[in-house]
A and B are shown apart, each in its own frame.
Chain A
Amino acid sequence: MAEDSTSMQVEEKDKMNEWVRLTTPDGYEYLIKRKVAMCSGTLRNSLSAESSFSEALSNTSHTTERAIIVEKLCEYLTYKSLYESAKKNEEIPDFQERVYPEISLELLVAADYYDDWPMQHAFQRDAMRPNLAQARLPAKPEA
């Protein structure tokens, strides 16, 4: 059991280091780490769902946004995953300057969509992981 759990954790970690692909209708593709993608509630859903059905080929989420918007989205997700766990007094760069006024309205709509996921407490999110892990991993032989 213990082995299982550690191996599960290790696998999960590996999983988290995998690259995830976001495609756009205008022909661009963006690769981000899975753990970064998980910062978005919607992406988390879509990637998990897809992965559960077609894991090997999956890790891809087909977005309906323009490439610029997806790019900014990825930028924000990276920023968030990086500084989310920073301590209070640490200085972090401001993201506001990176939001260009020309795209602000579109990005506003996109951000609202991809951040649909209601706010969850940590324990709830963690609770989801075992489910995800189970869904992904092939059935383990009974130990």
Chain B
Amino acid sequence: MSSDYEPGARRLPSLVQYCQRVASTHANSFERLGEGLPEELLRPILNSCSAETLWRFEEEDPYIAAYTTDIWRNMCLKTYPRFAREPEESGSESWKDEFARCKEEDEQRLERAAAKLREKRQLDEERRKETSIKITDKLPPAKRARWGVSAPAKTLFQKTRSETAKLQKGVFSTRMTRPSTQRRPIVHNYAGASTSARPPPPPPTSMSSSIASGSRVTVRAVPVPRKPPPAEQALSAVANPNAGRMNSALSPPPPAKETNPVQTPSSPPDGRPPPLVRPPPKKNPASTLFMPKHHAYSQLPRGLSSKS
């Protein structure tokens, strides 16, 4: 309804204007515009709808496309100010196509950035996982598995020293329960033979080394007459090839494999066997862990009762 020009009269908005206002506010809720709407009436509505809505309108009522060029142009420049270019430059057919092209470009960039971020995060996660706490029921590999590499102790004194040193730090030098608990050597002190200097109780490490050496050395039990009457010292398997068990005669040892004919304090037949007792059966997830030295209240299995 046209407004009045009468002096003193109120200028009311026309019904057309009211309708345009309301429709513009709810422009994105319309499914389609319908036919036969004149351009001038539609313009405010088209200007205030989103790109998606405008696309929908053009699909439903293609006649609208005739007057939406400017609208698409404004949409492009407003939404993608960095990408938008004149259609002639960028090869699009119209501003509408240009808008679609810009939108694609934008999405691609976003996807690329997201992928980069994802990758970085994954790497970070992996790194963290490596150093995080893992639950396992296997012992970590013995850090000091190479204990046997120390120089062979020829004299008894040296042997004692090395053995006690091992004992003190001894937890990780063996991967099994202490052999001493299983096979403590039964040293029978037969008459007369006790005068000889006895070797101290065999160290726990001797088992490992003996096994190692056992694998390399041919074992033959040979009774060797010695100066002191051969005492049937049923030495256990813990014969240390390097130990100077000078005064011990060997009776055929129960596990034939594992004892050596220790005749003289001779150096081992060949170089020191490889220190590793046996390779770990399978990769232990705990192997990557850092295992500290024994602590006061560590619950790691230890042979000795002393905790320090």
**Hey, which chain B residues are within 8 Å of A120, CB to CB?**
2
**Hey, which chain A residues are within 8 Å of B19, CB to CB?**
99, 104-105, 107-108, 111
Count how many pairs of residues, one from A and one from B, have CB atoms less than 8 Å apart in the complex: 91
Asked if B18 and A115 sit within 8 Å, CB to CB, the answer is: no
Is residue B26 contacting chain A, with contact meaning CB distance below 8 A? yes
Interface size class of B (residues with CB under 8 A): 20 to 34
Q: Which of B1, B25, B29, B41 has most A Cβ within 10 Å?
A: B1
Minimal Cβ-Cβ distance residue in B for A122: B6
Docked CA distance A40–B15 (Å): 11
Q: Which of A39, A76, A109, A119 contacts B37 (CB 8 A)?
A: A109
Known: A96-B18, A111-B15, A115-B15. Is A104-B2 also a contact (CB below 8 A)? no
Asked if B21 and A84 sit within 8 Å, CB to CB, the answer is: no
Docked CA distance A118–B163 (Å): 118
Is residue A135 contacting chain B, with contact meaning CB distance below 8 A? no
Asked if B16 and A115 sit within 8 Å, CB to CB, the answer is: yes
Asked if A76 and B1 sit within 8 Å, CB to CB, the answer is: yes
**Hey, which chain B residues are within 8 Å of A86, CB to CB?**
9-10
Asked if B23 and A115 sit within 8 Å, CB to CB, the answer is: no
Asked if B18 and A95 sit within 8 Å, CB to CB, the answer is: yes
Contact with B along A94-116 (1 / 0, CB 8 A): 01100111001101110110110
Asked if A85 and B20 sit within 8 Å, CB to CB, the answer is: no
Is residue A80 contacting chain B, with contact meaning CB distance below 8 A? yes
Is residue B157 contacting chain A, with contact meaning CB distance below 8 A? no
Is residue A28 contacting chain B, with contact meaning CB distance below 8 A? no
Known: A101-B22, A104-B26. Is A73-B15 also a contact (CB below 8 A)? yes
Is residue B4 contacting chain A, with contact meaning CB distance below 8 A? yes
Is residue B34 contacting chain A, with contact meaning CB distance below 8 A? yes
Is residue A92 contacting chain B, with contact meaning CB distance below 8 A? yes
Q: Which of A88, A104, A109 contacts B10 (CB 8 A)?
A: A88
Asked if A109 and B2 sit within 8 Å, CB to CB, the answer is: no
Q: A41-B2, A87-B8, A114-B1 are in contact. List 16 more A-B contacts (CB 8 A).
A: A80-B1, A85-B9, A90-B10, A96-B18, A96-B21, A99-B21, A101-B23, A101-B25, A101-B29, A105-B23, A111-B1, A111-B19, A118-B2, A119-B2, A122-B5, A122-B6
State the B residues within 8 Å of A (CB). Answer: 1-6, 8-10, 12-16, 18-23, 25-26, 29-30, 33-34, 36-38, 41
A-B pairs with beta carbons under 8 Å apart, 30 shown: A40-B1, A41-B2, A76-B15, A79-B12, A80-B12, A84-B4, A84-B10, A85-B9, A87-B8, A90-B10, A92-B10, A95-B13, A95-B18, A96-B18, A104-B19, A105-B19, A107-B15, A108-B19, A108-B37, A108-B41, A109-B37, A111-B16, A112-B38, A115-B2, A115-B16, A118-B2, A119-B2, A119-B5, A120-B2, A121-B5
Closest 7 CB pairs of A and B: A111-B15, A108-B19, A101-B26, A104-B23, A119-B2, A104-B22, A99-B22
